[in-house]
Chain A
Amino acid sequence: MDKTDLTPTYLPSGDRAVLVQFAPKIDAAINRYIHSLCSKIDDNPFKGLIEYQPSYSCLIVHYDPMLLTYNEVTAYLEKIISITGSDEELSSSVVEIPVCYGGDHGPDLPFVAAHLGRSEEDVVACHTGENCLVCFLGFTPGFPLSQAPEKLAGVPRLETPRTKVPAGSVGVVGNQTGVYPISSPGGWRLIGRTPLKLYDPGRDEPFLVKPGDYIRFKAISAEEYAAISAG
């Protein structure tokens, strides 16, 4: 990471949100810094803050224009940035997600293996081999856009997205990996499926992972998948 990567640019995003832009790239260090800022905001909230929304390389802060001006919000954010180091420890959890790889659950595993010049076993070993940073949630409720292990980077999107990806499907694309929480259209390459629900509005913790958490995928058999699904 370049030092200038963490130099903020402030931009209005309409009349009730400030966009803080860092170097526009998908980079774990920049994204981790954004999560550090979020936790600093949690520790130092201000009246009129409605919510904040991290993504890969920027943070959007929504505010109440009845209480604050744009300049007041950027002044506050400048202060937050000045007290946030680039190497702060994140108080993230590591969430283990069991995945049944290949077969019907992961129809694109053969393609991904062939594209990367690896065996399917090797792809699974890479995918389960490290903690993946959850850069942000988006697209559908609870969808974790996460940093894929480097050895799996470079997988292209489907040319024609599927109109219906089953809930729980685990996909890879570019240098990202993620899990489809609900059945939705999708263009990622599917390598497996988890029996866990990433989004369940009826649960005490509706979202299984939070932005800034880490996901650790774990391979399970089709039998284990069926057993967990059956509850």
Chain B
Amino acid sequence: MQTFKVVKPGLFTTIQDLGRPGYQRFGLPTAGPMDSYSLRMANLLAGNDLNAAALEMAFAGATLEVMRQTVVALTGASMQAALNGANMPAWQGVRVREGDRLELGSAVEGVYSYLAVAGGIDVPPVFGSRSTDVLASIGGIEGRPLKSGDIVETYAPEDLPDEIMLKQDFISSFPPKTLARVIMGPQDKRFTAAGLDTFLNSIYKVTVNVNRIGYKLEGPQIEHLEGADIITEGQTPGAIQVPRDGRPIILLADRGSVGGYTKIAVVISADIRKVAQSGPGKEISFQAVDLETARRAYREEEAIFMLNRRLLFEP
């Protein structure tokens, strides 16, 4: 069903579901959302499976013309959203009607916004996912970001959800300073004690070199023991690679499946989105934690979705 006409595409708007696991050994990144919490929350509010495809908008959002009545939910970065010129609330279901105009501006806080639609976006899955991967030219609409004139189709929802509202506790904010918890390694042994100390006790600033592949940081130089190169190996989401210049790069959704630089640590799953929502100029520092702490944080996040499904939808 035709649901939106793209009037203005925004800076970099792609269709994303929870990503494309299973193909890293063929050289494909996992793609998927930069902020999976916000995508899942948008889907929950729109009455969808958490893995349904939605719009991910970076830095500056899209302008859309609504082609039929449905319910949408906007989460993630706050982008001065307007519905027919009036302020549109985020983190809740909003009913929209044919002819409505949905307009998103620049991100005031955070980087990535998500707009989910009841039923989920209807594009053919490629290798099991609807996520756009612009390098491999797959997923989304023709494997590319949206452009003006695109029609976004959605599946027919079983029935339209109410305009439910999320409790304040579950609404994310994106502060200018982020503490990212990390699991040290796999190549932490390739750094000097001073280098490790620098990494864990400095404040890094996000540069303008940020995209879905990764974020380059600036700050004190992290000292290697002997060189920054390793034999090429796979790299996981959140991996912090430190090339020769000693400044970290945090690898995110569209990272290459393999790489040849030392990785000092990996951001824990629950904190990857905090990094992704920290745009240029924002500060990031790192704290080493153990696997049990990471696992607990992961489980807590999963539990939030189970809890909210009950809170919001069960009588």
Contact = CB atoms under 8 A, between A and B. Distances in A.
Contact of B234 (A25, A53, A65): A53
B258 A139 contact: yes
Main secondary structure of the interface of A (DSSP, over half): loop
Contact of A137 (B25, B136, B298, B302): B25
Contact of B237 (A14, A54, A211): A14
B236 A143 contact: no
A230 B22 CA distance: 33
Main secondary structure of the interface of B (DSSP, over half): mixed
Contact of A53 (B24, B126, B127, B238): B24
Interface string A36-75: 0000000000000011111111101010011001100000
Given A15-B183, A19-B233, A51 B24 contact: yes
Contacts of B268: 14-15
Nearest to B295: A65
B27 A141 contact: yes
B291 A69 contact: yes
Contacts of A53: 24-25, 234, 257-258
B186 A138 contact: no
A85 interface: no
Contact of A138 (B22, B27, B238): B27
B233 A56 contact: yes
A71 to B, nearest CB: 9
Contact of A12 (B135, B185, B233): B185
Contacts of A231: none
A48 to B, nearest CB: 12
A117 interface: no
Nearest to A21: B186
A92 interface: no
A140 interface: yes
Contacts of A182: 135-137
B82 interface: no
Given A11-B185, A55-B232, A137-B25, 16 more contacts: A14-B239, A15-B298, A16-B298, A17-B236, A19-B186, A26-B231, A50-B21, A54-B25, A58-B233, A60-B234, A62-B21, A138-B27, A139-B256, A141-B27, A141-B136, A145-B232
20 contacts: A12-B185, A13-B185, A13-B234, A14-B183, A15-B291, A53-B234, A55-B234, A55-B258, A56-B232, A65-B295, A69-B291, A137-B27, A138-B234, A139-B27, A139-B256, A142-B26, A142-B27, A145-B232, A181-B27, A182-B137
Interface of B: 21-28, 126-127, 135-138, 183, 185-186, 230-239, 256-258, 263, 266-269, 291, 294-295, 298-299, 302
